[in-house]
């Protein structure tokens, strides 16, 4: 059973996200009404505590919104905004309305300057950079991990896109920041990249479910040789194989979401994020290939909605670490030290479960 | 239904204390048990070992205490099972009884059957085999030809069962056979509890597998007389009963840990100074295993709540077989033939054993094709 917040998110997306919304966005048109509805619903604050303006729902429920947004191909940075608000709240920085982005800040340098700060360097592939109010990132300053808020109006963007037409802009940064735009946070320095990978894992899990639904629907409707192609065993086995990949992705997403606010600590759990990003990325490869095979030529057209989802899968698996990157991270951890067996490593990573 | 739900395992389902107890026990019992034998996974047969873990209360864990069980949850049982498998413990003597015969008898058996059999299963001293496949009925279970014809107060059984794992060691068989003519393909089937040690007219012949091992058998019933109280469940209800067993048979960690001994050997070989490729592939093995465990524990949670997650179990088995069958290929891609040493010899022996056994992983317990057909049906495609 889906939670109330999941129902609400699903309703907002169903009402305001269509094939046309996604296509227009891919041509550079920001969906103003959609964002206004999302802001109105309060979803951008779902991951923050009630005292910071959230609903007080469990973290795994809140993170589920990112999966549902992925399932609808929601063409705005909702996940990014949720994470930006979470990170700002963790650092005790003020939250403001409007779309936000989160991006890797390892290319930035932070210098204390009087009461404020000076920040400079290069940002690459900032999700929705040109469309957001603020970009939230993390920068290390004298051994401390700082959350840094960059007002987007002060930046000149080099516009770029991912494969799905989502803005991924570059920016040269040279800004003076106020004291209330930077704060130290008690989170590890890789938190931002982990959050990004977690977000894309959840989004991929959602998009994969939609691709599967499209395939089951199409195979049942498309008639060739006098019967729906779903009656052919070859197609049935493609879809069954796809069902396994989709279920594994969903489980991986649930696993990482369940652990977010768990006994293991606060925020993304590195080994679980690595496993989830890798598994959903691999599933994206397998499922997208099968989906296009099942859909035939029509699935290869602009007119059909399949590409909105397969392109997102191909783009998202590359963002915030590829399967190869996360596999190596996990492999290094599994092989490190000599006392623990591989089995102890694997069982030691499991989340402690969610309240049922 | 388009999407297949795997509810996350519930809180507290990791049972750290129990897990540590099992690990300590296994470290003590299997201290110098060689890797080549650990590689047999759940095909390793050792009646003494099964009795010992029965003594520890780790067989029949989910059975009610009234029947000698321990009233524990499927999730606790899951922890014990996966620790046994990961260690390569020889669990075959109680595996089938614990996994599917006991739940069947508990659900469908008569009070007398429950009182007679379940305490012995929980003690780890009662070995079961499953008489399902036949020479002309493999994947097509409905083609079963073995018959049990009512005679007096009992039944007369004729026919041949094939691929019956450990029939030559088992105390009992759960026999699936035809008891009536039916217009329906799935009708007229029943299940019987057959005492292999007592009943006359049963011939058990070995079928040696291509690795040279004996676990399969051909079991011939020649005018075998069963008493009426051997029937399990409803006369003619066998098909549905068998289908409800499958969630127990298909979702467990044995469906993705069969090659685990090779993974441990591989890790031991590369751990000292891994190449980048070795790190990547070991990480990939870990990630897939983490997700498979999550899914399998999810199914255990559904069983705990009294649901019948047949479709989810089928998916776990299909994905699990892909995982465990890929391990030898992966090991060979990461390591050339290691130079001679005791540890390299163990690696080589475990690799050879695993190569010879992986073909069975997508055949036993339902072939890959049958599983995908079930999933497709669950999705409304057939």
- How many domains does chain B fold into? 3
The share of chain B scoring above pLDDT 70, in percent, equals 98
Taking 80 as the threshold, does the pLDDT of residue B108 lie above it? yes
Hey, of A240, A278, A280, which one would you mutate to test binding to chain B, going by the most B CBs within 10 A of its CB?
A: A240
User: Considering the domain boundaries, does residue B9 fall inside one?
Assistant: no
Q: Report the residue of chain A nearest B297, measured CA to CA.
A: A353
Alpha helices in chain B (DSSP H): 16-29, 35-38, 47-55, 74-87, 92-96, 102-108, 111-122, 238-250, 260-270, 276-304, 310-334, 342-357, 368-378
Q: Report the residue of chain A nearest B265, measured CA to CA.
A: A342
- CB-based contacts of A149: which residues, under 8 Å, 6+ apart? A88, A93, A134, A135, A136, A177, A181, A182
Q: In what order do the strands lie in the sheet with A108-113?
A: A108-113, A116-127, A168-177, A156-158
CA A121 vs CA A14, A77, A126, A319, B148: distances in Å: 40, 23, 13, 20, 82
Taking 60 as the threshold, does the pLDDT of residue A263 lie above it? no
DSSP B133: -
- B8 to chain A: which residues are within 8 Å by CB? 60, 251, 254-255, 258, 353-354, 356
User: Considering the domain boundaries, does residue B3 fall inside one?
Assistant: no
Gyration radius of chain A's alpha carbons: 21
Taking 80 as the threshold, does the pLDDT of residue B11 lie above it? no
Q: Pick the closest to residue A158 from A146, A145, A168 (CA basis).
A: A168
Instruction: Say yes or no for a CB contact (<8 Å) between B292 and A237.
Output: no
Domain identity same for B346 and B275: yes
CB B86 within 8 A of CB B252: no
* Shortest Cα distance, chain A CAs vs residue B14, angstroms: 6
User: Considering the domain boundaries, does residue B33 fall inside one?
Assistant: yes
Q: Considering B74, B95, B127, which residue would you say is the last residue of a domain?
A: B127
Q: Considering B89, B107, B127, which residue would you say is the last residue of a domain?
A: B127
Domain identity same for B366 and B260: yes
- CB-based contacts of A1: which residues, under 8 Å, 6+ apart? none
Taking 70 as the threshold, does the pLDDT of residue B85 lie above it? yes
Q: Report the residue of chain A nearest B279, measured CA to CA.
A: A331
Domain identity same for B123 and B134: no
Across-strand partners of B150? B155
Q: What confidence score (pLDDT) does residue A55 get?
A: 83
Domain identity same for B226 and B250: no
User: Considering the domain boundaries, does residue B365 fall inside one?
Assistant: yes
What's B189's domain CATH number?
A: 2.40.110.10
* Shortest Cα distance, chain A CAs vs residue B161, angstroms: 29
Average confidence (pLDDT) over B307-315: 91
- B319 to chain A: which residues are within 8 Å by CB? 244, 247-248
* Number of residues assigned to chain B: 382
Q: Does A350 touch chain B (CB under 8 A)?
A: yes
Domain identity same for B249 and B366: yes
Q: How far, in Å, CA of B331 to CA of B347, rounded?
A: 10
Query: Long-range contacts made by residues A150-157, C-beta under 8 angstroms, separation at least 24?
Result: A150/A119, A150/A175, A150/A177, A150/A181, A151/A175, A151/A181, A152/A101, A155/A129, A157/A126, A157/A129, A157/A130
The Cα diameter of chain B in Å comes to 72
What's B91's domain CATH number?
A: 1.10.540.10
* Axis crossing angle, helix A270-295 with helix A306-316, rounded to the nearest 10: 150
Q: Phi/psi of residue A156, each to 5°?
A: -105, 120
Q: Considering B127, B155, B176, which residue would you say is the last residue of a domain?
A: B127
pLDDT digit string, tens, across residues A90-124: 999 999 999 999 999 999 999 999 999 999 999 99
CB A327 within 8 A of CB B284: yes
- Domains of chain A from N-terminus onward: 4-184 (2.40.110.10), 191-348 (1.20.140.10)
Q: How far, in Å, CA of A216 to CA of A208, rounded?
A: 12
Of A248, A327, A356, the CB nearest to B284: A327
Min mean pLDDT across A20-34, A95-109, A289-303, B236-250 is at: B236-250
Structural tokens at position B197? 């040690």
User: Considering the domain boundaries, does residue B256 fall inside one?
Assistant: yes
Domain identity same for B140 and B200: yes
Average confidence (pLDDT) over A245-259: 95
Q: Does A356 touch chain B (CB under 8 A)?
A: yes
Taking 50 as the threshold, does the pLDDT of residue A354 lie above it? no
Taking 70 as the threshold, does the pLDDT of residue A1 lie above it? no
- A233 to chain B: which residues are within 8 Å by CB? 373
Taking 90 as the threshold, does the pLDDT of residue A29 lie above it? yes
Domain identity same for B192 and B255: no
Structural tokens at position A215? 């395939």
Q: What confidence score (pLDDT) does residue B377 get?
A: 95
Q: Report the residue of chain B nearest A274, measured CA to CA.
A: B287
Instruction: Say yes or no for a CB contact (<8 Å) between B287 and A330.
Output: yes
Across-strand partners of A31? none
Domain identity same for B107 and B155: no
Average confidence (pLDDT) over B171-175: 98
Q: Report the residue of chain B nearest A228, measured CA to CA.
A: B381
Of A213, A240, A346, the CB nearest to B2: A213
User: Considering the domain boundaries, does residue B164 fall inside one?
Assistant: yes
pLDDT digit string, tens, across residues A172-208: 999 999 999 999 999 999 999 999 999 999 999 999 9
Strand pairing report for A108-113 and A144-151:
unpaired
Strand pairing report for B128-131 and B172-178:
parallel
The Cα diameter of chain A in Å comes to 78
Q: Does A339 touch chain B (CB under 8 A)?
A: no
Q: How far, in Å, CA of B371 to CA of B250, rounded?
A: 10
Domain identity same for B208 and B281: no
Q: Does A240 touch chain B (CB under 8 A)?
A: yes
CB A13 within 8 A of CB A74: yes
Q: Pick the closest to residue A250 from B295, B178, B176 (CA basis).
A: B295
User: Considering the domain boundaries, does residue B4 fall inside one?
Assistant: no
pLDDT digit string, tens, across residues B37-66: 999 989 999 999 999 999 999 999 999 999
Domain identity same for B52 and B103: yes
Q: Phi/psi of residue B238, each to 5°?
A: -60, -40
Q: How far, in Å, CA of A321 to CA of A113, rounded?
A: 33
Taking 90 as the threshold, does the pLDDT of residue B250 lie above it? no
- A246 to chain B: which residues are within 8 Å by CB? 3-4
Structural tokens at position B161? 């069962």
Buried b (16+ CB within 10 A) or exposed e, A258-292: bbbbbebeebbbbbbbbbbbbbbbbbbebbbebbb
Domain identity same for B105 and B220: no
* Shortest Cα distance, chain B CAs vs residue A58, angstroms: 14
Domain identity same for B161 and B268: no
Q: Pick the closest to residue B12 from A267, A262, A272 (CA basis).
A: A262
pLDDT digit string, tens, across residues A43-67: 999 999 888 888 888 999 999 999 9
User: Considering the domain boundaries, does residue B11 fall inside one?
Assistant: no
Taking 80 as the threshold, does the pLDDT of residue B2 lie above it? no
CB A267 within 8 A of CB A195: yes
Query: Which structural domain range is residue B187 located in?
Result: 130-236
Taking 90 as the threshold, does the pLDDT of residue B84 lie above it? yes
* Shortest Cα distance, chain A CAs vs residue B48, angstroms: 26
* Shortest Cα distance, chain A CAs vs residue B285, angstroms: 8
Assign B133 a pLDDT band (cuts: 50, 70, 90): very high
pLDDT digit string, tens, across residues A298-347: 999 999 999 999 999 999 999 999 999 999 999 999 999 665 799 999 99
DSSP B44: -
Taking 60 as the threshold, does the pLDDT of residue B366 lie above it? yes
Q: How far, in Å, CA of B288 to CA of B190, rounded?
A: 39
Assign A352 a pLDDT band (cuts: 50, 70, 90): low
pTM for this prediction? 0.96
Q: How far, in Å, CA of B289 to CA of A221, rounded?
A: 36
What's B357's domain CATH number?
A: 1.20.140.10
Hey, of B376, B378, B380, B382, which one would you mutate to test binding to chain A, going by the most A CBs within 10 A of its CB?
A: B376
Residue by residue, DSSP assigns A24-91 as: HHHTT---HHHHHHHHHHTGGGTTS-GGGT-----HHHHHHHHHHHHHHT--S-HHHHHHHHHHHHHH
pLDDT digit string, tens, across residues B185-205: 788 999 999 999 999 999 999
* Shortest Cα distance, chain B CAs vs residue A254, angstroms: 7
Across-strand partners of B204? B219
CB B220 within 8 A of CB B202: yes
Helix (H, G, I), strand (E, B) or coil at B263: helix
CB pairs under 8 A between A and B: 186
Q: Phi/psi of residue A341, each to 5°?
A: -80, 165
Q: Phi/psi of residue B291, each to 5°?
A: -75, -40
Please state, rounded to an integer, the average pLDDT across all residues of chain A: 94
Instruction: Say yes or no for a CB contact (<8 Å) between A243 and B375.
Output: yes
User: Which residue carries 């079930």 as its tokens?
Assistant: B374
């Amino acid at each position: 059973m889906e939670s109330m917040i999941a129902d609400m998110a699903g309703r907002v997306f169903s009402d305001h996200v269509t094939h046309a919304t996604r296509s227009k966005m891919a041509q550079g048109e920001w969906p103003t009404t959609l964002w206004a509805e999302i802001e109105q619903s309060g979803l951008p604050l779902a991951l923050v505590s009630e005292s910071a303006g959230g609903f007080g729902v469990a973290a795994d429920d809140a993170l589920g919104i990112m999966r549902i947004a992925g399932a609808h191909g929601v063409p705005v940075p909702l996940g990014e905004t949720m994470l930006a608000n979470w990170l700002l709240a963790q650092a005790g920085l003020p939250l403001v309305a409007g779309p936000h982005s989160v991006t890797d800040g390892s290319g930035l340098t932070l210098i204390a300057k009087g009461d404020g700060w000076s920040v400079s360097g290069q940002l690459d592939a900032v999700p929705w950079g040109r469309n957001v109010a603020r970009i939230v990132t993390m920068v290390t300053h004298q051994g401390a991990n700082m959350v840094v808020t960059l007002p987007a109006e002060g930046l000149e963007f080099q516009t770029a896109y991912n494969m799905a037409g989502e803005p991924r802009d570059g920016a040269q940064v040279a800004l003076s920041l106020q004291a209330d735009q930077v704060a130290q946070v008690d989170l590890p320095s890789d938190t931002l990249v982990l959050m990004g990978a977690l977000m894309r894992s959840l989004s991929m899990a959602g998009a994969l479910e939609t691709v599967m639904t499209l395939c089951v629907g199409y195979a049942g409707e498309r008639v060739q040789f006098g019967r729906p192609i779903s009656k052919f065993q070859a197609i049935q086995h493609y879809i069954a194989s796809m069902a396994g990949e989709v279920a594994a992705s969903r489980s991986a997403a649930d696993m990482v979401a369940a652990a977010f606010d768990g006994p293991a600590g606060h925020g993304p759990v590195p080994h679980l994020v690595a496993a989830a990003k890798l598994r959903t990325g691999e599933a994206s490869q397998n499922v997208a290939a099968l989906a296009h095979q099942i859909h035939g030529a029509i699935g290869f057209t602009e007119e059909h909605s399949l590409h909105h989802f397969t392109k997102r899968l191909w783009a998202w698996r590359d963002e915030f670490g590829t399967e190869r990157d996360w596999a190596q991270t996990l492999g290094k951890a599994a092989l490190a030290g000599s006392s623990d067996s591989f089995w102890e490593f694997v069982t030691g990573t499991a989340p402690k479960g969610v309240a049922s | 239904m388009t999407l297949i739900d795997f509810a996350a395992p519930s809180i507290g389902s990791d049972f750290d204390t129990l897990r540590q107890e099992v690990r300590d026990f296994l470290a003590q019992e299997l201290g110098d048990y060689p890797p080549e034998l650990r590689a047999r996974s759940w095909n390793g047969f050792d009646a003494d070992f099964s009795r010992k873990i029965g003594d520890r209360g780790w067989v029949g864990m989910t059975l009610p205490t009234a029947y000698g069980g321990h009233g524990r949850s499927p999730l606790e049982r899951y922890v014990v099972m996966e620790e046994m498998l990961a260690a390569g413990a020889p669990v075959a003597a109680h595996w089938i009884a614990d996994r599917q015969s006991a739940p069947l008898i508990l659900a469908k058996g008569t009070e007398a059957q429950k009182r007679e059999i379940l305490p012995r299963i929980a003690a780890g001293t009662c070995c079961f085999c499953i008489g399902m496949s036949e020479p002309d009925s493999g994947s097509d279970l409905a083609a079963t030809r073995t018959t049990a014809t009512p005679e007096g107060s009992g039944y007369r059984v004729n026919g041949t069962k094939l691929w019956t794992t450990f029939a030559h060691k088992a105390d009992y068989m759960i026999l699936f056979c035809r008891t009536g003519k039916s217009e329906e393909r799935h009708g007229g089937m029943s299940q019987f509890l057959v005492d292999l040690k007592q009943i006359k007219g049963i011939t058990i012949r070995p079928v040696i597998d291509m690795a040279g091992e004996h676990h399969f058998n051909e079991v011939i019933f020649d005018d075998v007389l069963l008493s009426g109280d051997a029937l399990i469940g409803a006369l003619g209800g066998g098909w549905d009963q068998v289908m409800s067993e499958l969630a127990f048979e298909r979702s467990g960690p044995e469906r993705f840990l069969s090659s685990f001994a090779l993974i441990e050997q591989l890790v031991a070989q590369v751990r000292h100074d891994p190449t980048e490729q070795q790190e990547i592939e070991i990480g990939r093995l870990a990630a897939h295993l983490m997700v498979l465990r999550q899914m399998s524990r999810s199914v255990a949670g559904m069983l705990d709540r009294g649901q019948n997650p047949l479709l989810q179990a089928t998916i776990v088995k299909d994905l699990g077989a892909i995982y465990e069958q890929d391990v030898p290929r992966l090991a060979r891609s990461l390591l050339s033939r290691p130079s001679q040493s005791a540890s390299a010899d163990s690696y080589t022996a475990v690799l050879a054993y695993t190569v010879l056994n992986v073909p069975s992983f997508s055949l036993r317990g339902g072939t890959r094709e049958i599983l995908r057909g079930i999933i497709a049906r669950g999705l409304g495609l057939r």
